[in-house]
Amino acid sequence: MVCKEYYFRVVARVVFLLLNSLILFYFIFHIPNVSLVVITASVLVYQVFALITYLNKVNTKIENIFMAHLSGEVTSSYSKSGRGGEFNKIYDYFNQMNSRLERIRIDNEIQNNYFKTIVDQTSVGLISFTGDGQVEFLNDATRRIFKVFVVKNLSKLNIFKEDFSDYLLHLEPEKTELVSVMVKGEMIQLSVKKVEFKAGTRSLNLVSVQNIKEELDQKEVESWQKLIRVLTHEIMNSITPITSVVNTLSRMFKNKDSGVVITPGEINVQSIERTVRGLDIVEKRGEGLKQFVSNYRDLTRLPKPEFQEVMVKQLFMDIEVLLQEDIAQRGIGLVIACHPSLQLLMDRKLIEQVMINLVKNAMEACDGNPQGLIKLSAYSSNEHTFIEVEDNGKGIPAEVAENMFVPFFTTKEKGSGIGLSLSRQFVRLHGGTLDFRSVPGEKTVFTIKL
């Protein structure tokens, strides 16, 4: 029993009340003395009043204990002195409960400060808001990106981009997008992603924003450097022999000592033949340079996709029929792994061109392998569809891998170097990606993600 003293006090008061009642009845029926009856009755009334007062006082104490707890006053401390000994045990329990709650509160504050420090130190901006645009939280990275201190509603962000608040509110969850905004007169590129979550019964949105302008600028510079390097290489490969042939031909028709142009009578048949051969070389290299420029033009003028529902397995089978003669001549096997019902919305001609290019590359990679095998597969996972072209050929060396999608980069003697670059752009027109993974000497897998 927690409050024995309270129990004994109540029992004692009830016992005295009963005894006084018996005495009152005895005086009324056996000693009819008015004074004794009045005195005894008065004492009885006082005892009843004292019991009621005591019980109310007890209720008040108990109510104060629980009200203090419910109001969050976990630091309140009830001492034994001056509070009444009958509730000492309850006060002890309450103080212990307060101490435990205080420790929990301190631990929570330490943990919250820990996570707040991590969130504020990260370079990724975080904005939490409700469905009507009321901002619940934003970290220091967000303030640095937008150069603001307080944002109570997303509408304040509209100064950086028209209808930016509506864009964030209707952003598709779990999907990363790139968006340009103007901050203090500077255009910056943001990578934006939203997730939805529940906080109790409330639905909230959390958007991460990351300024990737520097990364994009660096990638752009690297891409231009690679492109210029390849362009320079290709142009020099054409210009150098042309210049050499022209200089040779020029010297043939000039006097070696004086440098004066020779007369028609000094021209022999051998000189004419060498001149014709030189001009043929100039013509071929000129045609090669012309084709190179034409390829570059093709790379920059992409067609607009015409989307239609396409059965993926039928697409694979059509490609197999189209390339079966070349595959058979090389002694390469080809297998198809795709569910017959799988279909995709795509521009069939563009994706077919991509697939043909990938399969031809796989065929060349398998040259010299008596057990060469190409596998075409397609499957769906996590709201995306993946198309893969896998081969067990020689693979792609690490030093070549980073340049595989650079325009005009090629390791083939007669390659144009635009096949993979065009293929990646065709896939991007479909909102997808084209990447690869390779283990030299084992296998290479090109993956189209749509």
Q: Which two tokens stand for residue 304?
A: 């607009």
Question: Is there a domain that residue 162 lies in?
Answer: yes
| Length of the chain counted residue by residue | 450
Do residue 434 and residue 332 come from a single domain? yes
Question: How does pLDDT run across 1-10, given as a tens digit for each residue?
Answer: 456 777 777 8
What is the tally of structural domains in the chain?
4
Q: Which domain holds residue 42?
A: 4-100
Is 113 within a domain? no
Verify that 175 and 238 share a domain, yes or no: no
321 and 293, same structural domain?
no
Residue type for position 131: G
Q: How far is CA 375 from the centre of its chain?
A: 31
Q: How confident is the model at residue 409 (pLDDT cuts 50, 70, 90)?
A: low
Domain boundary, last residue among 276, 300, 324: 300
Cα 176 to its chain centre, rounded Å, is 5
d(CA 62, CA 385): 65
The reported pLDDT for the residue numbered 82 is: 43
Q: Is the domain of 445 the same as that of 312?
A: yes
Domain boundary among 161, 181, 211: 211
> Is 367:330 a contact under the CB 8 Å cutoff?
yes
pLDDT in tens, 221-242: 566 666 666 666 666 666 766 7
Judge if 231 and 347 occupy the same domain: no
- Which of 119, 125, 127, 120 shows the shortest CA–CA distance to 155? 127
Is residue 115 in a domain?
Answer: no
294 pLDDT more than 70: no
Same domain, 181 and 89: no
d(CA 26, CA 48): 19
Per-residue confidence at 217, pLDDT binned at 50, 70, 90? Answer: low
Domain assignment of residue 274, yes or no: yes
pLDDT grade for 111, boundaries at 50, 70 and 90: confident
Q: Is the pLDDT of residue 81 over 50?
A: no
Q: Are residues 170 and 192 in the same domain?
A: yes
316 and 425 assigned to the same domain:
yes
pTM greater than the 0.85 cutoff:
no
Query: What is the DSSP pairing of strand 373-381 with strand 333-337?
Result: parallel
Helix (H, G, I), strand (E, B) or coil at 285: helix
Q: Which of 174, 196, 211 corresponds to the end of one domain?
A: 211
CA angle at 412 for the pair 410 and 417, rounded to the nearest 5°:
30
DSSP assignments along 2-47, one per residue: --HHHHHHHHHHHHHHHHHHHHHHHHHHT---HHHHHHHHHHHHHH
Residue 118 lies in a domain: no
